[in-house]
Amino acid sequence: MKSTLVSAALLSVASAAPAEQSTQNATAFLAGGNPFAGASVYANTFYSKRVEAAIPKLASGLSADKAKAVAKIPSFFWMDKLERVPEIANFVADAKKMGGNVVIPLVVYDLPNRDCAALASNGEYSVKDGGAEKYKGYIKAVKDQIVAAGSQKFVLVWEPDSLANLVTNMNEQKCQEAASAYKELTAWGLKEMNLPNVAIYLDAGHAGWLGWDANLGPAANLFAQIYQSAGKPAAVRGLATNVANYNAFKFPGGACPSYAESNKVCDESRYVNKLGPMLKQKGFPANFIVDTGRSGVQPTKQQKWGNWCNVIGTGFGPRPTANTGDALVDAFVWVKPGGECDGTSDRSAPRFDAHCDSPDALKPAPQAGEWYQAYFEQLLQNANPPI
């Protein structure tokens, strides 16, 4: 159901880029520099309404004003099923009323056999049930919305967890079944979405996943292969890291936490600066955005780095900005909307994943994507810097 249009907040993204970039046209947005430079990132009404609904339920001692502030911080809208795609039209109408250089951030997230090595976030399509053609219909629906938006600018994060699974999880049957579809549909989708008002960042896992020495080379090869297969689309700007994860951009003091084990690439800064030169050598655009939405507490409370579900003790992290201090990183962003659940802790529930009942996970938790009030409150209470 389409939401009623209300005034949505915009957060101006700080940047050291020249002022003239703020007036770049759609072609420059595609082929030029950092799409976040001089832009305002749209804070979507879907998330702000969820936060507003959470405010009357806040635990004693938590600030309603701080929660209201979170509603104004832009996070990405996850198109995790076809029925969410029409919401884009509402965002476009809202953003255009704001005027100026506004970017709408979205997540493309509906591949068949989605998240093939996990259970909590499995999607609506399967490879065995005509999922490839259904996915093409989903992508065409997204494209139709973006084309209809005219010159309105969009940044897309492309299919979290998908290609990273092909680097490390090919022992899983669902990943074996999905491998060719992931590659072919990603290349096809990138061609379809190669539009003059779009910038795309493919998801690249995080330091604790692909940052290991054994994974960096294969990851770079895979991203380059997909990019070449898609015809090197100009809309592809680079990669997104730490999506829905918790890693620091730069680990305090430089020392790696114990849960990183022997991996010295233990933060996102080290990860992108290891992977970036490998990508550049292969002709892939080595630009990054990093999700800092849940990275406020360092070190995390994780006993195992691989425990990714609703991790305990987390807090909202550094605010979205294009002033990152790293030439490879276009922006810090909030891709994962804080308060939307990673997965249920109910062992009898559909899509239960054992990671969501691990000692590192906050419990009890609802299904993935549903609002998780206790988790939102944890993020708000532990925010660093404070909200």
Annotated binding site: 78, 80, 206, 209, 245, 308, 336, 340
What are 71's two structure tokens?
């509603």
Contact 64, 51 (CB under 8 A): no
Q: Which residues line the annotated binding site for substrate? A: 78, 80, 206, 209, 245, 308, 336, 340
What are 371's two structure tokens?
């609002």
How does DSSP classify residue 231? T
Contact 112, 143 (CB under 8 A): no
**CA nearest neighbour of 292 among 328, 338, 356:** 338
- What is the phi/psi pair of residue 200, to 5°? -120, 135
Matching residue, tokens 């969501």: 356
**Pick the catalytic residue: 161, 203, 353, 357?**
161
Name residues whose C-beta falls within 8 Å of residue 144's C-beta, 6 or more positions apart in sequence. Answer: none
Measured CA to CA, the distance from residue 92 to residue 353 in angstroms comes to: 36
Catalytic-residue membership of 115: yes
What are 191's two structure tokens?
């061609």
What are 284's two structure tokens?
């892939």
Inter-helix orientation angle 131-148/87-98, to 10°: 20
Catalytic-residue membership of 291: no
Q: Terminal CA-to-CA distance of the chain, rounded, Å?
A: 31
**Pick the catalytic residue: 94, 110, 115, 203?**
115
Q: Work out whether the CA dihedral 205, 371, 123, 43 comes out positive or negative.
A: negative
**Pick the catalytic residue: 94, 342, 357, 360?**
342
Catalytic residues: 115, 161, 342
